[in-house]
Amino acid sequence: MLPPRILRRLIIAPLVVVVTVFMVVTLPLWLLVTAAASLRLPPPQRRGLRFVWFGVAWLTLETAVLTACLALWVAGAFGRARHQERHYALIRWFLAKVYGAAVRIFRLTVEIREPPAGAEQAARPVLVLSRHAGPGDSFLLIYHLLARYGRRPRIVMKAALQLDPSLDVVINRLPNAFVPRKRGQSGVIEEIRRLAATMDDHDALVIFPEGGNFTPRRRLLAIRRLEEKGLAVEAARARGLEHLLPPRPGGAIAAIEACPAADVVFVAHTGLDDLVTLGDVWRRLPFSAHISAQWWRVPAEQVPRGREERVRWLYDQWEVIDAWIAEHREAASAPRAGRS
């Protein structure tokens, strides 16, 4: 159960600061112990030092964000618009530092394929529909929306993520939503509709229609749910998806209805798809990580009008993403196969 906000502010946030100071002061000891333990492992599994470095970097950045949030709260006399812009700037700075740390520590590279120049320049709100897989996909997507495209992202998240104190403080000060599990899918759709209805030309609402990371078990359960609801056509199309969960159309359609002037952007990405849990990351994170992504934009005028047409259209786009993933996975494995 999520602690009340006052306890999160008075206990969890200060605890992060204390842990950060402790980790920084004792960092030489952690590095020495981790290096010694890594010598007992084969080279591909010597990830300990990288995780220690990244963990300390993350904690340090969390502490910096909490300190900045306290300063912004104390100096909170400026207007609402300026208040929000400063918090968006803070998120942009935080994610840029996290991205930089991942590039240096995990040798992360990100390749993004975009539409032809100028296609993304229309001054109107956008709804971003992305697959949900791999570690940090949300962070990378939000970072690129902020830093590369100058957008103000909005997102609906699980309420449990408020246990991260910097997320808890910053995100709750901006037009976003944390949804408790007890509210279910209806609560998520309600919040998506509310956020979409108030967007302007610089905003981007991010939605993950799958509702969670792909696993073979979740795929089978999702197909079974469609069959139990009598959605035979959707179940058949879902069985054709090898790398994705079938999209839940409720949130996307609610956003389109609430903001009919918005363009729709679809995002496909692959590279770290199999790293779903922390255990997966620890056991199988490669020495150098590469993420490939591609997005395409559908103008609001080309979005289907009827609900059934929109559901079919959403499945059409998901099939395109699934084929794109299959193609890029095959291309990524070919060099390794050639060397073996």
pLDDT value of residue 339: 43
Residue 315's H or E segment, with its range, is helix 307-339
- Does residue 260 surpass a pLDDT of 70? yes
pLDDT value of residue 50: 85
- pLDDT tens profile 227-257: 999 999 999 999 999 999 999 999 999 999 9
Confidence of residue 337 (pLDDT cuts 50, 70, 90): very low
Mean pLDDT, to the nearest integer, of 184-212? 93
Q: What are the CA-CA distances from residue 109 to residues 269, 287, 319, 333, 334 (Å)?
A: 13, 12, 26, 17, 19
Confidence of residue 162 (pLDDT cuts 50, 70, 90): very high
Distance CA 86, CA 79 (A): 11
- Does residue 221 surpass a pLDDT of 80? yes
- Does residue 283 surpass a pLDDT of 80? no
| Assigned token pair, 20 | 């950060």
- Does residue 125 surpass a pLDDT of 80? yes
- pLDDT tens profile 23-78: 999 999 988 888 887 776 665 556 788 888 999 999 999 999 999 999 988 877 55
| Helices within 240-277 (DSSP H only) | 249-258
Distance CA 294, CA 269 (A): 6
Confidence of residue 338 (pLDDT cuts 50, 70, 90): very low
Distance CA 322, CA 206 (A): 19
pLDDT value of residue 121: 55
Residue 127 DSSP code: E
Distance CA 260, CA 200 (A): 12
